[in-house]
Amino acid sequence: MEETYRIEHDSMGEVKVPRDRYWGAQTQRSLENFRIGRGRETMPPEIIRAFGILKLAAARANRALKPEKMTEQKKEAIERAAKEVIDGTLAEHFPLVVFQTGSGTQSNMNANEVIANRANELLGSPLCHPNDDINMSQSSNDTFPTAMHISAALSLKEEVLPSAARLIETFKRLEAENEGLVKSGRTHLQDAVPIAFSQEISGWRSSLETDCRLIELALEPLRELALGGTAVGTGLNAPKGFAEAAAKEISNICGENFISAGNKFHALSSKDEIVFAHGALKALAADLLKIANDVRWLASGPRCGLGEIFIPENEPGSSIMPGKVNPTQCEALTMAAVQVMGNDAAIGFAASQGNFELNVFMPLIADNFLRSARLLADAMESFRIHCAEGIRPNSEKMRKNLHDSLMLVTALNPYIGYENAAKAAKLAYKENISLKEACLKLALLDEKTFDEVFHPEEMAYPH
């Protein structure tokens, strides 16, 4: 009977590794020593992809700078294997969990071992060594922060910003469709002066546009890469020019501009670029939570709430109350936003834990950042498709609430003064009469003058 495992070795000795897996001894040791998260807290696929990108770039840079060691034959095999990592073909060969060594060393070695073994399989001979060839001119201490920056930048550029842009376009359409439809404004959850529904939507849209600008600003620091700093930032065992050459290759592979970090000691030990970028994600989360809450408040009812808008009815809302429908997309979006805020706290604390030349909370930081990006991108898309696209105004309810609002009295301030206007509002509320009746009863205005100056729909457009 054929053995189901093979023997691999590292500097500590021999290890049994599943025969059908490309990983080697160090990956297997990590798999056995860190059974944390019950197999569900594995390293994010975005990090694995980024490792494929940087290993491909490193091989090309080493070929140019160390041709005697990185032969053309090795480089070509490494390229083929690294591309399979990038496109996800070898995903099942990356089993390690987030909660491992804080430098991400074992995930770096996982990439080195998988690419080496796959390259050797393609070559038909064991020419590539995980450390000597795949990890040439590198250290886990500069590759993992490099993978963090690559994956973070690409997730913002490829997932978060496009998803936000599509939601912005939906709000633009809703703005145009609802231009001139005036409703009651609200502050402190209390009635306020009138606002056009399109103006209210424009606030949502502008918030997201601002968040996108903040994310774009945060992208720039993420483009600086630690690669070339090796173990402590000095660049030991990396040839001169490797950092710049590798960054250029990464840029070519990704189609995005990455550069070598100016100070590698900072790049290895500080995670402030990630903290700053996640701050922009937290700002987006805060605005999305506000927007989702606005939508579900406005849609509350259908009879005993505000009921000023209709949203799509996607599924039954109760297992006991027949016919009930809930704002579930709003709830999902707000939960995603709250999770991002929790992730931000974890990232901020983890980033503060750098000691001397290295931060050893990097896998946790990467996992939380990428989870936030993924959550926000997916939640915005779901909210757009299943809720925002189908928002419709309840014009009749908006008009009724507008004309019932006592805060319309604000329009009378220039004519009867603040204190007299307050008296009229209080009397109207106390006796359940209209503002016009209250003004006449208090002899503040005659009927003709009141009708001339009191135009609720025009209050939303004072200029």
Measured CA to CA, the distance from residue 435 to residue 191 in angstroms comes to 14
Residue 188 has which token pair? 């402190």
Nearest to 384 by CA among 162, 140, 101: 162
Residue 43 has which token pair? 């390293």
**Residue among 188, 207, 386, 434 flagged as catalytic:** 188
Q: Do the strands 190-196 and 224-225 form a parallel or antiparallel pair, or are they unpaired?
A: unpaired
Nearest to 46 by CA among 370, 430, 446: 370
Residue type, 380: M
Is residue 408 a contact partner of residue 454, using CB atoms and an 8 Å limit? yes
Measured CA to CA, the distance from residue 176 to residue 212 in angstroms comes to 21
Burial class (CB in 10 A: 0-12, 13-18, 19+), 448: exposed
Q: What per-residue string of b and e applies to 113-134 under the rule 16 or more CB within 10 Å gives b? A: bbbbbbbbebbeeeebebeebb
188 classed as catalytic: yes
Nearest to 438 by CA among 458, 422, 415: 422
Is residue 269 a contact partner of residue 353, using CB atoms and an 8 Å limit? no
Nearest to 315 by CA among 361, 375, 382: 382
Q: How many CA atoms lie within 13 A of 67 on its CB side?
A: 2
**Residue among 318, 403, 434, 463 flagged as catalytic:** 318
List residues with catalytic annotation. Answer: 188, 318
